């Protein structure tokens, strides 16, 4: 069981963020220590930390039977700290990157852990003013214990599987995004005030702002559940710019994910929104293509051994070092992302390394469509016929063609949530060159 030794605190001596089990360059650690020093722009940093914690305890819409909020994940990449969380429903991803220009202190190690941002700490962060110094200690040795009376508060840290699957899906989905618009803070604030939470909006660049429309057009960005951007509002008073990212869409496009990034002094905060409020990132199926190859597991082992918590993973350099083609390296990064080991930074258009306390062998368990597809292949259920194929499942026969599949999944989703198990099975067989 992973546990915090104490509670995180903010007092006259600074901010101490307590950590639980994680991974550093030297290997697994119960309570790793990464950074001690000041956040040079205290007020926006405190506001950004609150935003990440707020997302972790929010759910859209309000659902019953969803577990209490989880603690943010923090990664020290040497020149920056990254704080990440998901909403309780899994449909909103938040990340605060405190860059080198926002840090003034000592890096003790690089790695990933969980930090405790509790209710008393959130209240204290809310009182941080613009000129207040904010000292950060990520690790147990620099905790201030003056208000704890020597007591130790332990707390279980069990990140839900939904988060891990969400981390994997977000890095694949956002890697396909392109910048769509850049707004000044006043324009972004005006846009947020104009949004209605009850509908799906499409935002189209119009001059220095965005124009809302009810249907997709080329260049538009989907905004499903606009109230899910609420965590950005308190940050806009510090913002230098707000950037919007999304995939290529055309007329008639279905709702899709989008990302909204706030540039702050020495840091950035990004929110990624799933295509629908009742649709979390964990079920999007974007990773399945990359995970279906026979060589992806061994490639991931090789590529993973070359990662050292780099803030920017250079695919070209990694391909050269691993002796693999770019396609196989990207597939390996997807596999590593499914184990929580890789994220994607939209602002710099590059991957970054993190580690989460999960076993990569659980990939199949977390992706039942992939597991079922492999089972169909093992059963010999796939028969190829040129560009088409037949997949026999019990007493039912499905036809797989270049446009999709005849199964109910494809009929309901049209491939918008990844491939069905029948198409995946056919892809696996084709990749193996079987007839």
Tell me: the pLDDT tens digits for 103-161?
888 888 788 777 666 677 677 777 777 666 666 666 543 323 222 222 223 333 455 66
In this model, does residue 216 exceed pLDDT 80?
Answer: yes
Residue 93 pLDDT exceeds 90:
yes
pLDDT tens for 258-309 read 999 999 999 999 999 998 887 777 554 555 555 555 577 788 888 888 888 8
Return the pLDDT at 286. Answer: 52
All residues at 6 or more sequence positions from 18 whose CB lies less than 8 Å from its CB, including other chains: 4, 5, 6, 7, 8, 31, 115, 116, 140, 143
Q: pTM for this structure? A: 0.76
What is the predicted pLDDT for the residue at 112? 79
Query: Two tokens at 54?
Result: 């707020």
Q: Where are the beta strands (DSSP E) in 190-257?
A: 200-206, 209-213, 221-224, 241-246
Complete domains list, the chain, with CATH: 9-158 (3.10.150), 367-432 (no CATH)
What percent of the chain is modeled with pLDDT above 90? 21
Instruction: Encode burial over 337-362: b for 16+ CB neighbours within 10 A, e otherwise.
Output: bbbbbbbbbbeeebbbbbbbbbeeee
């Amino acid at each position: 069981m992973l546990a915090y030794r104490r509670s995180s605190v903010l007092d006259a001596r600074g901010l101490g963020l307590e950590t639980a089990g994680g991974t550093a360059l030297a290997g697994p650690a119960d309570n790793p220590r990464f950074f001690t020093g000041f956040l040079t722009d205290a007020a926006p940093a405190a506001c950004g930390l609150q935003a990440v914690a707020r997302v972790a305890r929010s759910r859209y819409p309000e659902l019953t039977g969803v577990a209490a909020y989880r603690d943010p994940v923090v990664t020290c990449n040497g020149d920056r700290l990254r704080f990440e969380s998901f909403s309780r429903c899994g449909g909103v991803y938040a990340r605060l990157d405190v860059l080198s220009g926002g840090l003034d202190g000592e890096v003790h190690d690089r790695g990933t852990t969980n930090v405790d941002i509790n209710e008393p700490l959130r209240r204290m962060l809310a009182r941080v003013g613009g000129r207040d110094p904010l000292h950060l200690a990520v690790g147990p040795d620099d905790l201030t214990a003056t208000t704890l009376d020597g007591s130790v508060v332990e707390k279980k840290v069990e990140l839900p599987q939904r988060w891990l699957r969400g981390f994997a899906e977000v890095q694949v989905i956002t890697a396909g995004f392109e910048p769509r618009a850049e707004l000044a803070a006043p324009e972004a604030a005006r846009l947020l005030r104009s949004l209605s939470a009850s509908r799906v909006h499409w935002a189209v660049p119009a001059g220095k702002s965005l124009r809302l429309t009810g249907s997709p057009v080329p260049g538009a960005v989907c905004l499903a559940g606009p109230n899910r951007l609420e965590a950005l509002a308190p940050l806009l008073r510090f913002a230098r710019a707000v950037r919007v990212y999304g995939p290529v869409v055309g007329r008639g496009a279905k709702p899709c994910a989008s990302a909204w990034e706030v540039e702050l002094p020495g840091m950035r905060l990004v929110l990624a929104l799933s295509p629908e409020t009742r649709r979390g990132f964990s079920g999007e199926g974007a990773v399945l293509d990359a995970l279906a190859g026979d060589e992806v597991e061994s490639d991931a082992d090789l590529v993973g051994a070359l990662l050292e918590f780099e803030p920017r993973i250079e695919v070209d350099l990694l391909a050269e070092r691993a002796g693999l083609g770019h396609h196989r390296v990207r597939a390996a990064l997807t596999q590593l992302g499914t184990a929580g080991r890789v994220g994607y930074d939209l602002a710099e258009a590059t991957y970054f390394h993190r580690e989460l306390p999960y076993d990569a062998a659980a990939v199949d368990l977390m992706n039942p469509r992939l597991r079922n597809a492999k089972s169909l292949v093992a059963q010999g259920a796939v028969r190829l016929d040129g560009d088409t194929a037949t997949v026999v499942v019990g007493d039912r026969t499905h036809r797989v063609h270049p446009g999709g599949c005849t199964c109910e999944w494809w009929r309901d989703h049209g491939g918008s949530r990844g491939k069905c198990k029948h198409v995946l099975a056919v892809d696996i067989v084709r990749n193996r060159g079987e007839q």
